[in-house]
Amino acid sequence: MKAILSLFLALITAVNAESPAERDARMQWFREARFGMFIHWGLYSVAAGEWDGKRYGGGVEWIQSLARIPVAEYTPLKDRFNPVKYDPDAWVRLARDAGMRYVVITSKHHDGFCLWDSKLTDWDVAASPWGKDLLKPLAEACRKYDMKFCLYHSIMDWHHPQWGNKEPWRGNSATDAPDMDAYAAYMKGQLKELLTEYGDVGILWFDGEWESAWTHERGTELDDYVRSLQPAIIVNNRVDKGRKGMEGATLGEHFRGDYGTPEQQIPANGIPGEDWESCMTMNDTWGFSAHDQNWKSSTVLIRNLIDVASKGGNYLLNIGPTPEGEIPQASVDRLGDIAKWMESNSEAIHGTTANPFPTTPWGRCTMKAVNGGTRLYLHVFDMPADRRLLLTGMRNPIRSARFLAAPQEALRVEAKSEGAAIIVDRELTDPAATVIVVEIEGRPELATPPGNP
Ligand code: GLC
């Protein structure tokens, strides 16, 4: 009897298991996208990084925890959340013009406050002066501009009385009794609203999985549940317990999650064998801060995007709108600069794969298979003194070399003992990165580097 039962279970698992080809098909848009927008928006935006006259740094969406604010004192923030300037159409256009292909917005962050009118709680936008769902208009704008609509959803919840880990600063009420079965049912109920009433959702970006109340078993069950509602959805690895800290790689096959999630960092060699996405801020916080003006330059952001793509990952770049629904001007300016760069260079990012060379001292390389050959995109950060861009160890015949932005002007090529070199006899004009396209025969074939067996 037992044997029959396990055979039956094995059969069910086999039927449900996804083949590598099916998985590739599901991941395809994500792999081609390379660039997305993260949006952290909620009640913490009202506090804007300050509480009781004290300023907090780092991720100020954590203000409730940073300032040890009891739930009863945090709750009135909802009365000041009124995004009258919210313009989802403009937000999505800003993302699209910058070359982003997906938008991930916080349906619920750690404070538990929901940006849609959930039937399962009053701790949501319906209780604010705004009073209306914020997610649906964004989902609609995404559909209009062919942008994937995706959701960040915190597993950990500082507001819900049944979440299993308690913090003394929360000021728990007498009715506060941890019950993770009940909490999991609440989360599933909410996810059902989000996954049945908003059309196709590209990614479910879970977070807050690190507390002890969340287990591998619960993560597995949640992943199955989400996939049962939307089989084509992509789920990040924070659904389960297998994330390696801020480096974000997934520690082993048996952990759920379709991709790794490095946070505020770009892994030196990507994450071999795994899909991944580096999420990063433009200043030092995810949620809006009125005082954090430590903005990265547009050049740094553009080079980060290139760096991530050259290592085979995606770049999820964050904005933290104000409680009125405005995107900080510093973010708008930077996205505008990225848009300008992407206008002439997006083909060197979208649909590309990782750099094939052991070293690229002049910058970064991405590539794409085309017409039986390969198109290499050399993103030049630093021009070598001899003005030669070495393609270390490459033996393939070269069909052509040219500036991406000036295709009619051919560049000369020189064969060197260490590999082919592209001679750049003109000044580079783009301070962030000038892209040179090199068309070669076949897939890149590299000579074994000297010293290697
Ligand atoms: C985190 C934080 C958080 C932020 C996020 C983005 O680990 O808790 O506030 O939303 O990750 O990656």
Find out whether the beta carbon of 263 lies less than 6 Å from any atom of ligand 1. Answer: yes
Confidence of residue 365 (pLDDT cuts 50, 70, 90): very high
Q: Which tokens in the block code for residue 379? A: 């993103």
Instruction: Name the strand (E) or helix (H) holding 366.
Output: strand 363-370
**What percent of the chain lies above the pLDDT cut of 70?**
94
pLDDT digits (tens, 9 = 90+) for 141-153: 999 999 999 999 9
C-alpha 349 – ligand 1 centre gap (Å): 26
Q: Which atom of ligand 1 is closest in space to residue 59's alpha carbon?
A: 9
Q: Over 50: is that where the pLDDT of 453 sits?
A: no
Between 17 and 433, name the one with better pLDDT.
Answer: 433
Percent of the chain with pLDDT over 90: 87
Residue among 448, 442, 383 nearest 418 (CA): 448
pLDDT value at residue 167 = 79
Q: Residue-wise over 414-431: b if at least 16 C-beta within 10 A, else e?
A: eeeeebbbbebeeeeebe
C-alpha distances in angstroms, 272 versus 143, 227, 268, 269? 33, 25, 11, 7
Q: Are 293 and 284 in contact (CB under 8 A)?
A: no
Q: How many CB atoms lie within 10 A of CB 80?
A: 13
What are the extents of the domains in the chain? 2-348, 363-441
Tokens of 153: 């959803």
CB of 60 sitting under 6 A from ligand 1: no
User: Which residue has its alpha carbon closest to ligand 1 atom 11?
Assistant: 207
**Looking at the chain, how many residues does it have?**
453
For ligand 1, the distance from its centroid to the CA atom of residue 308, given in whole angstroms, is: 19
pLDDT on residue 384? 95
pLDDT tens profile 228-248: 999 999 999 999 999 999 999
pLDDT at 7 (0 to 100): 52
Residue 213 has pLDDT above 60, yes or no: yes
**pTM to 2 decimal places:** 0.94
Among 399, 410, 344, CA closest to 376: 399
Distance 135 CA to ligand 1 centre (A): 19
Check whether 382 has a pLDDT greater than 50: yes
Closest CA to 99 of 305, 283, 300, 278: 305
What dotted CATH number matches 2-348? 3.20.20.80
Task: Report the pLDDT averaged over residues 271-283.
Answer: 97
Residue 136 has pLDDT above 50, yes or no: yes
Which position has the token pair 């071999």? 272
How much is the mean pLDDT over the chain?
Answer: 94
Q: How confident is the model at residue 349 (pLDDT cuts 50, 70, 90)?
A: very high
Q: Does 209 sit in the ligand 1 pocket, CB within 6 Å? A: no
For residue 2, the surrounding DSSP H or E stretch is helix 2-16
What are the strands, taking DSSP E only, across 35-112?
A: 35-39, 50-51, 54-55, 102-108
Q: Which atom of ligand 1 is nearest to the CA of 40?
A: 10
* Model confidence pLDDT, tens digit, residues 31-86: 999 999 999 999 999 999 999 999 999 999 999 999 999 999 999 999 999 999 99
Instruction: Judge contact between 413 and 356, C-beta under 8 A.
Output: no
Q: Determine whether the shortest distance from the Cβ of 279 to ligand 1 is under 6 A.
A: yes
**In the structure, what pLDDT confidence band is assigned to residue 169 with cuts at 50, 70 and 90?**
confident
CB 435 within 8 A of CB 378: yes
Q: Is the pLDDT of residue 300 over 80?
A: yes
* Pick from 138, 109, 92: nearest CA to 42: 109
Q: Which of 157, 263, 289, 318 to mutate to test the pocket of ligand 1 (most atoms within 8 A of CB)?
A: 263
- In three-state secondary structure terms, 65 is helix
How confident is the model over 247-266, as pLDDT tens digits?
A: 999 998 899 999 999 999 99
Kindly state if the Cβ of 130 falls inside 6 Å of ligand 1.
no
- Is the CB of residue 111 below 6 angstroms from any atom belonging to ligand 1? no
Distance CA 153, CA 155 (A): 6
State the amino acid at position 68 in one-letter form: R
Q: Which CATH class is domain 363-441?
A: mainly beta
Distance 373 CA to ligand 1 centre (A): 41
Atom of ligand 1 lying closest to residue 61 CA:
9
